[in-house]
Amino acid sequence: MAGKPFPNRSRLAALAKAMPKIDLHYHLEGGVRPETLASITGNPDIGEIRRQLTVPAGCRSLSQFLKRFDYVTPLLRSPRALSMAAQAAMAEAAAQNLCYLEVRFAPAYLATPEMDVPGAIAAVLDGLDQGSRRWGIPAAAILTLGLTTPVEENEAILRAALPWLGSGLAAVDVAGPEGEISLAAQASALALARKLGFPLTLHAGEAAPASAIARAVELDARRIGHGTSLWQNKPLMERLARQKIGLEMCPTSNFQTRAIRSWEEYHIREYFDAGIPVTICTDDPAISGITLTGEYLLAMTELGFTPEEMKQMVLYGIQMSFASRTMKQSLQNRVEQAFACLEF
């Protein structure tokens, strides 16, 4: 962009909408819009659903943010609900001009006596497959293990999920109140995941210091969810850059959970300039009340990224994804062609 004026906000908004996008950090439970929940539950009061679902402006912590899951998760405990939620995720992906989506979900919190863990997995994958075929957008699922779930239960979930590895299910994640319990508590479950062939992306450094990210790297994470505290450890930053361990960064969510308190505290620019693969994601768009297009606009208007740098973050997203090599090449070609048609 040398020699060119930086586009104004209205132009940036148009660019954000038109850009092809990748979302690698999207929780199914946190992505179900009020309108979809109304269809699932038969409750026509969308305003009340939105009030219960969306995080309040005064949210003070990750733990408070996660309480919104206490409302939405019970509403998804059926094959019909999970399939509808996954199909709706793909419809929104199309509306937001995504070219690839990875959706994570936590069977430990979704399974019931009437729908066991394999049933929950099958329902999500069915919905993603239907939506992918309808909208022409490839997608993959990530199995989220609960940080506070007993290790034995997580190990049983991994064994139950193994038949779907490579057939819609792409990787394993661990999420939960990291400020209260360490990833080390799930070390044996993660060792089993690696043994079974699941690649790992782990939540770390969202509500904990950089030592949590270092622990995730030692546990063989290929990607880090959030990683907002990485700036505290410069040698670790260099390691992530050197090993191309990516960061899935979710700006609005990180602000709402008070992982940061201002955009000046958000070190995504430092990470990007250090050569760490960084990509912009939504986390829980329905709970946060956001879209990926809005996050791309925020990255340009508040965080100072140029359209060319946004392209690089999309390409990083492709490289970081759990898609096949052939799929990655196809996505890269698509993104290159799409950006070539945009006028900055």
So which residues are the catalytic ones? 206
Q: What is the length of the chain?
A: 344
Euclidean distance between CA atoms 200 and 44, whole angstroms = 39
Rounded CA gap, 118 and 157, in Å? 8
List, in sequence order, the alpha helices (H) in the chain. Answer: 9-18, 28-31, 34-41, 46-53, 62-66, 68-72, 79-95, 107-110, 117-135, 151-161, 187-196, 210-218, 234-243, 251-256, 268-273, 285-288, 292-301, 307-320, 325-340
Contact yes or no for 19/32 (Cβ under 8 A): no
* 204 phi and psi angles, rounded to 5 deg: -165, 145
Residue 2: CB atoms within 10 A of its CB come to: 3
Q: What does the DSSP assignment read for 272-334?
A: HHTT--EEE--BSHHHHT--HHHHHHHHHHTS---HHHHHHHHHHHHHHSSS-HHHHHHHHHH
| Cα–Cα nearest to 220, from 259, 192, 248 | 192
Instruction: Check if the beta carbon of residue 34 is closer than 8 Å to that of residue 71.
Output: no
DSSP annotation of 44? -
Q: Evaluate whether 253 touches 282 at the Cβ level (below 8 Å).
A: yes
HSE (CB half, 13 Å, CA atoms) of 158? 27
